[in-house]
Amino acid sequence: MNALEIQYKKLLEEAHRLSTTNRSLSDKKIYEAELIAIQIQKLKNSSS
pLDDT at 47: 83
Question: Nearest CA to 15 among 35, 1, 42?
Answer: 35
pLDDT tens-digit profile of 1-48? 699 999 999 999 999 999 999 999 999 999 999 999 999 999 999 987
Split into its structural domains, the chain has a count of 1
Domain enclosing residue 10, as ranges: 3-47
pTM of the predicted protein model: 0.89
Q: Which residues of 19-45 are buried (b: 16+ CB within 10 A; e: fewer)?
A: eeeeeeebeebbebbeebeeeeeeeee
Q: Where are the alpha helices (DSSP H) in 1-48?
A: 3-18, 23-47
Closest by alpha carbon to 7, among 33, 29, 31?
33
